[in-house]
Amino acid sequence: PPRSTLFPYTTLFRSELTGKININTATLDELKSLPGIGESKAQNIIKYRTEKGNFTDISKIKEVEGIGDSLYAQIEAYITIE
């Protein structure tokens, strides 16, 4: 079977080494694949990046409107800045 059938959650935007999503380069749809991140939060992440530049640490994502400690705890294992 094709790779997509064997690994339906494997996507090109995830880092090949870590399997994590780079929050500095991810698209809207890529961000929406994170648990608890919908359209508006994904847009807020992109807006933050556009206005303030790339994240220097993954915890800085908590500065984005709508992302607090609870949501950060859900996505921390899935995100990277590398």
Token pair 């694949």 in the structure block, residue? 33
Give the pLDDT confidence score for residue 63 in this predicted structure.
97
In Å, how far are 5, 6, 12, 54 from 26, measured between CA atoms? 23, 23, 10, 11
Torsional class of 19: left (φ above 0), alpha (ψ -120 to 50), beta (otherwise) = left
- 75 Cβ neighbours under 8 A, 6+ residues apart: 34, 35, 36, 37, 61
CA 1 to chain centre: 29
pLDDT at 3 over 50: no
Global confidence as pTM: 0.79
Confidence of residue 11 (pLDDT cuts 50, 70, 90): very low
pLDDT digits (tens, 9 = 90+) for 27-71: 999 999 999 999 999 999 999 999 999 999 999 999 999 999 999
